[in-house]
């Protein structure tokens, strides 16, 4: 697939299945992410691969963090079971993290944008290799307990979870009118 075609036709894929992306396919995604634009070459990125049993631990973390947001610190069995299942929606999950560096000329926002750009590059690289992927955050993504549970340090911020796998069902690329978004100033 040529680059323009990959860029124009990527869509998010909700319904993903096994087998997991190969090591080579994941490596290609990371290499794409590492080509994100990056002011002063700070490389403000870290990627956590969550596969196999680690998905069970992520589900438990999600449930534990969600429980801290309830008035009694508990979840119903049904709510807990729902959260435990979430990471099993894909064989691989990549947590994209902004690893914020102190720099007099590069504020945090620029480094967060760079990490977001890395995530998008990885999404396109997944698509270009015939994989399906969806970028998810969810209400717990900004919770400090989620960051702690993932082992992130104070200067690291979670940008999103990329769910990656084989395409079970896809959708059509929606038509958008370019002129609606472009003006000559
Ligand atoms: C930062 C960010 C967080 C997102 N979080 C979620 C999410 O938690 N759940 C979800 O269904 N979609 C989420 N989305 C949207 C999907 O990734 C996707 O972009 C959207 O469904 C549109 O589909 P498309 O990429 O095929 O246009 C998020 C997107 C971004 C950029």
pLDDT single digits (tens) 69-111 = 999 989 999 999 999 999 999 999 999 999 999 999 999 999 9
Q: Is the CB–ligand 1 distance for residue 30 below 6 Å? A: no
Closest among 141, 140, 125 to 29, alpha carbons compared:
125
Residues 50-79, mean pLDDT to the nearest whole number: 96
Closest among 161, 127, 121, 103 to 34, alpha carbons compared:
121
Q: pLDDT of 130-169, one tens digit each?
A: 999 999 998 899 999 999 999 999 999 999 999 999 999 9
71 Cα to the center of ligand 1, angstroms: 29
pLDDT at residue 148, rounded to an integer: 97
Residues 51-75, mean pLDDT to the nearest whole number: 95
Residue of 121, 135, 142 best suited for mutating to test ligand 1, as the one with most atoms within 8 Å of CB: 135
Q: Is the CB–ligand 1 distance for residue 12 below 6 Å? A: yes
Does pLDDT of 113 surpass 90? yes
pLDDT at residue 112, rounded to an integer: 98
Please tell me whether residue 136 adopts helix, strand or coil conformation. Answer: strand
Total-model pTM = 0.97
pLDDT at residue 139, rounded to an integer: 81
Residues 12-22, mean pLDDT to the nearest whole number: 97
pLDDT at residue 152, rounded to an integer: 98
160 Cα to the center of ligand 1, angstroms: 10
pLDDT at residue 11, rounded to an integer: 98
**Which amino acid residue places its CA nearest to atom 30 of ligand 1?**
135
The CATH superfamily label for domain 14-51+90-169 reads NADH Oxidase (3.40.109.10)
Q: Is the CB–ligand 1 distance for residue 137 below 6 Å? A: yes
What does the mean pLDDT of the chain come to?
A: 97
Residue 51, beta-bridge partner list: 92
Q: How many CB atoms lie within 10 A of CB 53?
A: 8
Residue of 137, 167, 171, 174 best suited for mutating to test ligand 1, as the one with most atoms within 8 Å of CB: 137
Q: Is the CB–ligand 1 distance for residue 134 below 6 Å? A: yes
Does pLDDT of 57 surpass 90? yes
Q: What are the structural domain ranges in the chain?
A: 14-51+90-169
Residue of 13, 134, 158 best suited for mutating to test ligand 1, as the one with most atoms within 8 Å of CB: 134
pLDDT at residue 138, rounded to an integer: 82
């Amino acid at each position: 697939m040529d680059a323009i075609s990959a860029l124009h036709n990527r869509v998010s894929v909700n319904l993903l299945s096994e087998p997991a992306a190969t090591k080579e396919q994941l490596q290609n995604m990371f290499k794409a992410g590492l080509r994100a634009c990056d002011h002063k070459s700070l490389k403000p990125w870290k990627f956590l691969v969550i596969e196999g049993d680690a998905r069970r631990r992520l589900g438990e973390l999600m449930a534990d963090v969600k429980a801290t947001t309830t008035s009694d610190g508990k979840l119903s069995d049904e709510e807990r079971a729902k959260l435990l299942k979430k990471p099993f929606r894909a064989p691989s999950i990549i947590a994209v993290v902004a690893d914020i560096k102190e720099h007099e000329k590069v504020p945090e926002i620029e480094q967060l944008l760079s990490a977001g750009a890395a995530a998008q590059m990885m999404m396109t690289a997944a698509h270009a290799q015939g994989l399906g992927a969806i970028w998810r955050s969810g209400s717990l993504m900004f919770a400090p307990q989620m960051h702690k549970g993932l082992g992130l340090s104070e200067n690291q911020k979670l940008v999103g979870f990329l769910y990656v796998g084989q395409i079970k069902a896809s959708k059509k690329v929606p038509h958008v009118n370019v002129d609606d978004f472009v003006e000559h100033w």
